[in-house]
């Protein structure tokens, strides 16, 4: 992921072919063991809301590459910058998550704003790791 030089038409599978938007990440059907990296010193507007779980042996990981400050996910207007809903075996590290009081985009954001929101409405969630996050 590279918010400045990325392109959602890219394959997104190599550092020289990064995606640009959170929309592309949220829509992609990741598989167990996949790693999604956001470029250091970058900023993304919107909500990170992955839709696939990993496995206990092969979690799906979200993190950072490059040198510099942690990538920023600015959930302005959304309920949460990172929304983990009905997932398991996912790991998030080395990101900055913020959710200011911008104009609400989704109904839940009228009364609440979260840096991270974890919800489980379909059973038990496990192996959700949140490491080295600035919220």
Per residue in 43-99, pLDDT (tens digit) is 999 999 999 999 999 999 999 999 999 999 998 888 889 999 999 999 999 999 998
pLDDT digits (tens, 9 = 90+) for 91-125: 999 999 998 766 666 665 556 678 898 999 888 88
Please, are residues 116 and 91 in contact by the beta-carbon 8 Å criterion? no
Cα–Cα nearest to 8, from 22, 76, 30: 22
pLDDT digits (tens, 9 = 90+) for 12-42: 888 899 999 999 999 999 999 999 999 999 9
Please, are residues 74 and 100 in contact by the beta-carbon 8 Å criterion? yes
Please, are residues 66 and 42 in contact by the beta-carbon 8 Å criterion? no
pTM for the whole structure: 0.90
Which residues have C-beta within 8 Å of that of residue 126, sequence separation ≥ 6?
A: 56, 88, 89
Q: What is the mean pLDDT of the chain?
A: 90
């Amino acid at each position: 992921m590279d918010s400045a030089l990325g392109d959602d038409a890219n394959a997104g599978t190599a550092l020289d072919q990064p995606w640009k938007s959170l929309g592309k990440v949220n829509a992609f059907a990741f598989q167990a063991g996949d790693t999604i990296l956001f470029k250091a010193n970058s900023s993304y507007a919107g909500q990170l809301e992955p839709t696939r779980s990993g496995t206990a042996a092969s979690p799906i990981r979200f993190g950072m590459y490059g040198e510099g400050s942690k990538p920023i996910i600015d959930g302005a207007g959304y309920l949460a910058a990172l929304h983990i809903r009905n997932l398991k075996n996912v790991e998030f590290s080395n990101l900055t998550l913020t959710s200011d009081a911008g104009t609400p985009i989704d109904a839940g954001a009228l009364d609440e704003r979260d840096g991270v929101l974890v919800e489980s409405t379909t059973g038990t969630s496990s192996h959700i790791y949140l490491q080295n996050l600035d919220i």
